Amino acid sequence: MKILQLRTYTILFFFLFICLLSLSNAKAQSVLSTSQQEADQIDTRVCLGDNISAALKTIRSSSSDSQNREVLFCLLQAKKKFDTLSELTTEQQQQAKTIFSLTLQTRYKLKQYAQVIEEGKAFLSKGNMGKEASIAYFYVTLSLYETKQELLASYMDINSIFALLTVKQQRTLRTILINNDLKKHRPMNAFSYLEKEPGVLIKDAGAKVLDVIQAIDSLDDIRELLSTYQDSTIIDSLKLRYANLLLQSNKKEEGKEVLSQINVTALYGMEQRNYYRLRLYSLRDPSKEAKIGVLLPLSTPSLRNLVNQTLNGLEQAMQDLAKDGKKWTLVIRDTSLPKYRHRLSREAKKEKIARHMHSLVQQLVEGEGVLAIVGPLRRDFTKALATSAQEYHVPIISFSLTENIGKDSDFLFRFQSKQTLQAETMVNYAFDYLHAKRFVLFSPSDEQSMAVTKAFGKQVEARGGTIVGVAYINPKDRDFQNYFASFTGGYRRVGWQEKKELLYLRERVKPIVDFDAIFIPVSARTTYSLIAFRNLFNADNTWLLGTSKLNTKRTQTFKNHVKLRFIDTFPYSAIPVYLHDFYTDYWKKYSFSAEQSEPTSYTIYAYESLKILNRLYQDGATTPSELKEALLNLKNMPVLTGSASYIGNGEIMTSVHVLETKGQKILFVFPPNKKE
């Protein structure tokens, strides 16, 4: 009997297994056939709005654009069905809103940002409330952010919007809104996005609060937050920022008092480091010997000459200051990176440089207590200093050739020739003194030369002149025949009969020179080749106008009749009266050195930078922040080669002059700028 029952149960179990297997295969076949149809991926009921949850599930699981386009097609079909109905029931209205939200989400996944913005704004303008309005605001904001447009102001309470979004959506939206306000210097508004209500932060505010606090630059705003919050985890961070602002405002005693109230162990790692930095800063005694940090690539062989020229200028400035009884100390650090066995990627090298430069600034500020830093020479190393200069509130004067490199930092300055300003000044000189109106431009294709050429052309147009032609050249080019032929028509197309006659006569078409001057922001070597081709095409009566790149020893060999003018702060070879003492002392000190070389722009700018810092220090700027403010307000300070002024974008400039070659010397012509 038991055996019979066992057989019966076995047969029943087998029968059930076969049924389940059949159902599973049927379902698999159904899914397979559905995926093969382009417009029917979602059940037809979804397109009619009868199964919204199925559409939502499909959207979340879809990963390809083709699937998203199919979903969008189906949703638009459903929306079209609702649009044809004259009246909608409450349930249908809700379904229509849900379909609209799904449509925005799908369009955003397909990067149809313009449609999301247009449809979302239209929906929100009707005063719709609830979850669908929050989702619409969310995707419109994301689309505006992606297309770098002004974000949309919300008519709803922002916390009400956050409450109806998922946690991930909340985090994304908060980040966008906060970054937007920080970019527009509205830190208090950014702070509000991290609050449930005044005095209470959201649960996952995290390190974002610290970023916002660091952006607050008003003592009143910090006081307001300190009076609002009771939570010690944020109070100490606010006090640290408050102390920082007080010390920057030269309220040292108040700053020290606030620092003494802070619980250091409650601060994050980065904040703790800032705390100790501020403690050192607050304890600094201005009456002690002042220190200046120096950052140079001391162990980089390819830059050895520039390093020596810079060090010579700094050393001579120190010697002059010592004669006047001024106590200064230079603290020198090497910016050269260690050699690596394997080649680093661009990003890896950039990161290495950033960490290295940050470490050097930390050593100079925290370890040595320097008031300012001069150097480095290279662009990438200077760029890496911007964040460190801001963090440690120490002014840095770089000698990089890249213009406007400090435009995004109040503490990063550049003291070098500004070739775009040279170009503009040269145009004014050409118009006022050479009576030139029509110009040809020769420009290397590198970023700096293009910027100089653009500035020259813009100033020509502003003065009512004409650009006859522009040639973008390789600095290594030595053959400029085709360029001059193009500008002068010296090798224009001719018919076969005329060509035969020209060959018989051994003549070429006479060039037509319809320009007065040629702008050449190139080296002396390239200029030498340009002069030869200019003369070949009967353009030897036109002027050659250059920049400080021509203020070199090679240019001295050019003959007097080449009609060449260029601009710099001082002549390379001839010694004007105001440089006599400097050159005399320089030759006495370095004429017997194995590394001896004539003073260059790096020597002059290094020398003058220390003189400027010393003058500002003697006038009362005895802290890094005060020196920074003094540099920002620098105007017509007398220096070795004229007068120095801050002209914005982190640029410190000295007077520029027009120079010429004469008798194998570079001579001063006169200041071309009537405002000087």
Q: For residue 382, what pLDDT band results from cuts at 50, 70 and 90? A: very high
pLDDT given at position 674: 38
Q: For residue 323, what pLDDT band results from cuts at 50, 70 and 90? A: confident
pLDDT given at position 509: 57
Alpha-carbon distance values, 659 to 520, 570, 645, 664 (Å): 14, 8, 21, 13
pLDDT at 243 over 70: yes
pLDDT given at position 597: 61
pLDDT given at position 44: 39
Alpha-carbon distance values, 376 to 373, 381, 415, 632, 664 (Å): 9, 7, 11, 20, 33
pLDDT given at position 441: 92
pLDDT given at position 48: 41
DSSP code of 509?
P
Q: For residue 256, what pLDDT band results from cuts at 50, 70 and 90? A: confident
pLDDT given at position 17: 52
Q: Which two tokens stand for residue 388?
A: 């460190």
Calculate mean pLDDT across residues 528-549: 87
How far apart CA 634 and CA 661 sit, in angstroms, is: 33
Calculate mean pLDDT across residues 564-582: 69
How far apart CA 547 and CA 535 sit, in angstroms, is: 21
Average pLDDT value over all residues in the chain? 79
How far apart CA 601 and CA 605 sit, in angstroms, is: 6
pLDDT at 676 over 70: no
Query: CB neighbours (10 Å) of residue 361?
Result: 24
Tell how far CA 15 is from the center of its chain. 73
The rounded percent of the chain whose pLDDT value lies above 70 is: 80
Calculate mean pLDDT across residues 311-315: 88
Q: For residue 28, what pLDDT band results from cuts at 50, 70 and 90? A: very low
pLDDT given at position 500: 55
Of the listed ranges 7-11, 40-44, 64-68, 75-79, the one predicted with least confidence: 40-44
Q: Which two tokens stand for residue 239?
A: 């006090």
CB of 431 within 8 A of CB of 437? yes
More confident residue, 379 or 66: 379
pLDDT given at position 475: 77
Calculate mean pLDDT across residues 182-208: 84
Q: Which is nearest to 370 in space by CA: 399, 406, 329?
A: 329
427 — alpha (psi -120 to 50), left (phi > 0) or beta? alpha
